[in-house]
Amino acid sequence: REKAEKASLAPESSDVDECPAGEKPTLTAADIARIKEIMGEGPSFRSRMQQQLEQLEKRKVFKRCTVRVLLPDRAVLQLSFAPHKTLRFVREQVQQ
């Protein structure tokens, strides 16, 4: 039974020329042109880190962050911070 399954998986007629033992197959210019035509301008494979780096380069960089707080007496308190400041720091500044 296993031999029958293996035989059915093997191609009946091979389009690929078999290379003699020890030799590497070579591609002709026509083969390369056909492969390029099939591949087209499809997506190129990149590493995840490279994709993340490209996304970071495209993002806007903010130099200041502005926070406005409406106080109970209807006054507006506006504070500017660097974007890397923590929320704890912002709360401390508002409480002062």
Q: What is the largest CA-CA distance in the chain?
A: 91
What would the pLDDT profile of 50-92 be if each residue is shown by its tens digit?
A: 888 888 888 888 889 999 999 999 999 999 999 899 999 999 9
- Two tokens at 13? 């007629």
Residues 6+ apart with CB under 8 A from 70: 76
Share of the chain above pLDDT 70, in %: 71
Predicted structure pTM score: 0.39
User: Residue 47 carries which DSSP code?
Assistant: -
Segments making up each domain of the chain, as ranges: 65-95
- Read off the tokens for 70: 């409406």
